[in-house]
Amino acid sequence: MLQRALESEIDSHLRQYDDLLTNDGKKAVVRNGYGPQRSILTGIGSVSLRRPRVDEREAVQQNPNHKRFSSSILPAFLRRTPSIDGAVATLYLKGISSNDFESALHAIYGEDAGSMSASTVARLKN
């Protein structure tokens, strides 16, 4: 479902610029395949996604103020959803030690939960 939402978001962006053409009559804003597959930790576990890419070089050359595609669903460096950060805060408030978060997250979200260092927990806590 998340992958379909990404596809819909990029289709909407491409439709915005349907009428923007290059000098030789081709579309200036086009799909450009997918980025590498990555795992996002969500409240229901790990989800694998492939981020759609857009080629907008021609559009930027025509208009330096062209607004490039930036996903509001999947920000560039997102590795876990905000609900996971909320879970970290709740565990911290319940008295879980910073060093025990990794095992607590594995118990809640499974082995795909990845790791979370004590410094990451401290940063999220702040």
In terms of domains, do 44 and 7 share one?
Answer: yes
Residue 73 lies in a domain: no
State the average pLDDT over residues 50-78.
84
Q: How many domains does the chain have?
A: 2
Any domain includes 77:
no
Q: Give the mean pLDDT of 91-99.
A: 69
The CB-side HSE value for 70 (13 A sphere, CA atoms) comes to 7
Question: For residue 15, is it within any domain?
Answer: yes
Distance CA 39, CA 46 (A): 6
Helix (H, G, I), strand (E, B) or coil at 92: helix
Q: What is the domain extent for residue 31?
A: 2-62
Residues 21 and 49 in one domain: yes
Phi/psi of residue 67, nearest 5 degrees: -85, 110
Quick one: 8 and 53 in the same domain?
A: yes
In this prediction, residue 72 has a pLDDT band, given cuts at 50, 70 and 90, of confident
Neighbours of 13 (CB within 10 A): 18
Structure pTM? 0.60
Question: Which amino acid is it at 41?
Answer: L
Is 49 domain-assigned?
yes
Q: For residue range 100-111, list pLDDT tens digits in order.
A: 767 766 666 666
On whether residue 75 sits in a domain, the answer given is no
pLDDT at 3: 86
